[in-house]
Structure 1
Amino acid sequence: MIELLIALAISSFLIIGITQIYIDNKRNYAFQQSQGEIQEGNRFISLIFDTYLNKAGYSREPYLGNEQVFTAQTSTDYCEAFKSGQTVTKAKKGSGVCIRYSQLKSEELDCAGNKTAAFVDSNPFLKQAPLVTTALYVKDDVLRCQSGNTDAELMTGLSGLRLEFGINPSSDTNVTQTLSAADWDNSKGQILQVRYEALVASTNNQRGKGDSAVLDNWLKQASAAEKTLIEGADTGQLYQIASNTVTLRNLTP
C-alpha cells in the first residue's frame, strides 16, 4: 500500500511538471508570435510612411517651379488646404499627413492598391502629368489610406501616432525649426521634413497590466485625453515604437 502511494505521489509530481512545461512552452510561443507581429507592424508602418513621404513633391516637370506644378488646393474631408507649391499638409480625419506628387508611371498603384490615371509615360518630361493626393492617417487604432475615391484600412493595432514637422518660415529649403503637428498651420511655413512615432500594440495580451516600459515612456508625453484612451484600451498587450525622420528629398537640397 505504501509503495502504491509513493508511486501515485511520484506520478502526480511528473504530471504537474509536464503540465507546467507545456504551459510555459505555450506561453513562450504566444509571446514570440506577438513579438513577431508587432515587429512586422513596425516594418510595415516604416515602409508605408517612408515610401510616400519620399514621393512628396515629385514632379515630371523639373523645369517648372513647384508653384506651377502644385497649384493651390482647397481643404477636403480628408486633408487641410494646400497652398501653392505645398506638397505636404495635415490630415483632417485623424492624426496623419496628406501628400501630393506627380505620377511616375501610367496607372501606377496608389496606397490602396488601385490604379491611378492612365497617360503616355514614354516622355519623362511630360507636361501636366497627373497629380496624386494621398492621405495617411490613424483613426480608432487603424492606419488608413485615402486616395481618389477609396478610403482603405491598411493596418490595425496602432495605439497612437505622433508627428513633428521640420519647416522654414522663409522660402528657403533648409529646415530651421521643428513643430508638433498640433502647433503647425499653413502660416508657419512649408513642411520640409516629417518625423513620425507610432505606438504599435500586439493583438494578444502577453504581459501583466502596467509593466511595459515602452508604454510608460509613451504616456509620459501623452495628453490627458490620449493617456485616458490608451490606458483604457490596454489589456496587457506588448508594445513597440516605430519611428523615423524623413527629409523630403524633392523639396530640399
Structure 2
Amino acid sequence: MNFRHEQFGLSLVELMVALAISSFLILGVTQIYIDNKSNYLYQQGQSTNQENGRFTLMLLDRQLSKAGYRRRPDVTLEQAFPAGDFTASTGSETCAFSAGQAISRVDSSTICIRYQPRTASELDCAGTGISSANASAIAKPYTTPTESFVEKITIGNGNLVCNGTTLVEGVAGIRFDFGIGAAGTREVTSYTQTPGSNPIGSVRYYVLLASQNNLRQNMNSQAYCDWIKLGDASANCTVPDDKLYQLVNNSMTLRNLMP
C-alpha cells in the first residue's frame, strides 16, 4: 500500500524557527559590518594624524629655517632687522621684535619670525609674494630689500595657522621651547619656554594631532597624557573626548641666527 505525504505549507513552529535562524545570521553579518567599519575609520583617523604630523613638521622646519635670513652677509642682524612692531605679511597680525631679533615668543603656542626675501619670487607661509617695490630693490644679488617677511604661527580652531591662513587641519595644540646659550657662542645649553632677551639658537616644538571624529572607543590615550605632562610631569591626565591623538616633535637649529 502506498502512502502519499503531501506538503501543504509551513507550520507556525517551522516558520518561527526559520525566522530565529535568519535573525541570528543577520545580526552576525551586521556586527561584522559594524566592526569592519569601525576598524576602517580608526585606521583612517590614525593615517590622517600621521600625514598631518609629517606635513606640520615639514612646514615648521621650512619656515624656521628661514628665520633671520639676510641678503647681505656683511650686514649685522641689528642692521638687517630693526626694532619695532611689524604687521604680518598677510593679515592684520602684529609682531613685536627687538633690534636684531628674528624670532620672538608671543605665548606658549605662538611665535613670530621674520626674514628677508631671497628672490623676487619668494612667498610667505600664506603664499603671498613681495611687493613690486621690494622686487625692484632685490633685482640684483646682495642688495637690501625695502621690507622683510613677517610671519605669525599659532593654533586657531584646531588648525595650524600662519598669518591668518590655515595650513594644517586637525592640530589640537602646539608648544615651542627655545634653545638658549651664552651670547656670541654656537652652543645651546638649555631649553626654555620663556627665552626673554637671551639669544635663541634653536627651537624645539611639540605638536598634538587630533582626529575629526570620536574614534578612540574609550581606549586610553597615552599621546594626550604625554602632551599634558609636558607642562607638568605630575599633572593628572583626563582625556576630554574620544578623539584619536598623536604627538610628534622635532627641533630646528636656526642657522641664520648662529654667530
- The TM-score normalised by the length of structure 2 is 0.81
Residue 210 (structure 1) shift: 6.2
- The DSSP-based 3-state class of the residue aligned with 2:35 is helix
- The DSSP-based 3-state class of the residue aligned with 1:81 is strand
Judge conservation of contact 1:201–1:238 (CA < 8 Å) in 2. yes
Is 1:235 matched with 2:250? Answer: no
Is 1:97 matched with 2:111? Answer: yes
Residues of 1 paired with 2:147 and 2:236: CA distance?
42
Over alpha carbons, which structure has the higher Rg? 2
- Amino acid in structure 2 at the alignment position of 1:221: L
Give unpaired runs (5+ residues) of structure 2. Answer: 1-10
Alignment of 1:1-253 (within 5 A): 1=11, 2-74=13-85, 78=93, 81-91=96-106, 95-118=109-132, 119-120=135-136, 121-128=138-145, 130-146=147-163, 151-180=164-193, 183-186=194-197, 189-209=198-218, 211-222=220-231, 231=239, 234-252=240-258
Q: Tell me the percent identity.
A: 38
- The DSSP-based 3-state class of the residue aligned with 1:16 is helix
Describe the superposition over 1:114-155 as per-residue Cα deviations: whole angstroms up to 9, x where unpaired: 222231445221233641111101244332212xxxx22333
Describe the superposition over 1:142-200 as per-residue Cα deviations: whole angstroms up to 9, x where unpaired: 32212xxxx223333322211110012423232122112xx3222xx111100000111
* Number of matched pairs: 240
Judge conservation of contact 1:74–1:80 (CA < 8 Å) in 2. yes
- The TM-score normalised by the length of structure 1 is 0.83
Residue 108 (structure 1) shift: 2.3
Cα RMSD (Å): 2.7
Residue 61 (structure 1) shift: 0.6
Judge conservation of contact 2:178–2:204 (CA < 8 Å) in 1. yes
- Amino acid in structure 2 at the alignment position of 1:137: T
Judge conservation of contact 1:79–1:89 (CA < 8 Å) in 2. no
Give unpaired runs (5+ residues) of structure 1. Answer: none
Judge conservation of contact 2:214–2:241 (CA < 8 Å) in 1. yes
- Amino acid in structure 2 at the alignment position of 1:249: R
- The DSSP-based 3-state class of the residue aligned with 2:255 is coil
Judge conservation of contact 1:56–1:87 (CA < 8 Å) in 2. yes
Residues of 1 paired with 2:201 and 2:173: CA distance?
23
Deviates more, 1:51-60 or 1:4-13: 4-13
- Amino acid in structure 1 at the alignment position of 2:149: V
Residues of 2 paired with 1:116 and 1:91: CA distance?
25
Residue 217 (structure 1) shift: 2.0
- The DSSP-based 3-state class of the residue aligned with 1:197 is strand
Residues of 2 paired with 1:144 and 1:227: CA distance?
29
Residues of 2 paired with 1:79 and 1:173: CA distance?
30
Residue 79 (structure 1) shift: 5.4
